[in-house]
Amino acid sequence: FVSFVHDTFLGCSEGAGGFVHLVYLAPDHVHVYVESDGERSVEDMVHDIKKVSAKAIQEEFSSLQGMLGEAVGLWDDAYFVETVG
């Protein structure tokens, strides 16, 4: 599972406009390192990463949706951003 999630985030890199790397997968959240190409906003990048990764993970692990329920998405709307450099 962790390997698939990691590869999914890496696969989001091109579409997100930068480089996305899964750093830590916790039971209730993830930490990712994102390098931006500077042309897209953080908000847009996070939205796209969540959308693409949720679809891929839910397709690969369809039992997750049953555990989450119909009205609940894989990712919460909230996110935390910290810049470096």
pLDDT digits over 38-71, tens only? Answer: 888 888 888 888 888 888 988 898 877 666 655 5
Is residue 77 situated within a structural domain? no
When divided into structural domains, the chain yields a total of 1
Which tokens sit at 45? 């990048």
Q: Residue 45: helix, strand or coil by DSSP?
A: helix
At 72 the pLDDT is 60
Contact status, residue 54 vs residue 74, Cβ threshold 8 Å: yes
pLDDT digits over 3-44, tens only? Answer: 898 888 888 887 888 888 878 888 888 898 888 888 888 888
At 70 the pLDDT is 59
- In this structure, how many other beta carbons lie within 10 angstroms of the beta carbon of residue 16? 23
Is residue 80 situated within a structural domain? no
Is residue 73 situated within a structural domain? no
Is residue 84 situated within a structural domain? no
Rg value, the chain, Cα: 13
